[in-house]
Structure 1
């Protein structure tokens, strides 16, 4: 599966809130760094993050563009509330080895009607 195809599958599983399916796309020692939090190391930590996020919010990823360059795929996305973001995925051995995501977490909380955690405001 090419990096672009893997990200297309990632989007499909994300939109089904398939936590286990998403986690299975990552290498055992993958790193996921959403810039609004510290990097997560390992498939299980990434799985726990998805479980927590899908537990508190309804999330939908609408693809605007997916670009591929070598072992990288770049996803530009939006959601139905107007939130926008970008994700970079490095694929190795048919699995996501590294992911970095950029989005406005404060806007995410507000658009989802979620309280802003105290530690976020520090």
Structure 2
């Protein structure tokens, strides 16, 4: 699978709210760093993060573009409420080893009626 293929599968699983399936795409020692939060380290912690997020908000990732650059892919996305962001995925041996995401957390919290921390 190419980096783009893995990100396309990531989007499918994300949109299905499949935390277990998403976790399978990450290496055991992967890091997911959404810049609005502390980095999440390890597949089990990433699974827990997704479980918590899916239980707190109805999220949908609409792909604007996926840019494939070998072992790295960049995802430009939006959601149905108008929030936009991007994510960068680094792959090794067919697994995500590092992910970094950029998006506006304050707008997300307000759009979903969640408490502002």
| Normalised-by-shorter TM-score class | over 0.9
Residues 32-43 of structure 1: matches in 2 within 5 Å?
Answer: 32-43=32-43
2:86 corresponds to: 86
- TM-score, length basis structure 2: 0.99
What is the RMSD computed on CA atoms of the aligned residues? 0.5
CA positional deviation for 1:70 = 1.5
- TM-score, length basis structure 1: 0.95
Residues of 2 paired with 1:112 and 1:77: CA distance? 17
8 A contact 2:2–2:70 mirrored in 1: no
Residues of 2 paired with 1:93 and 1:54: CA distance? 27
Residues of 2 paired with 1:2 and 1:51: CA distance? 26
2:49 corresponds to: 49
Residues of 1 paired with 2:77 and 2:84: CA distance? 6
| Structure 2 runs not aligned, ≥5 long | none
2:8 corresponds to: 8
2:74 alignment partner, SS class? strand
User: How many residues of Structure 1 are paired with residues of Structure 2 in the alignment?
Assistant: 117
> Is 1:111 equivalent to 2:111 in the alignment?
yes
CA positional deviation for 1:67 = 0.3
| Structure 1 runs not aligned, ≥5 long | 118-122
> Is 1:28 equivalent to 2:28 in the alignment?
yes
Residues of 1 paired with 2:80 and 2:115: CA distance? 19
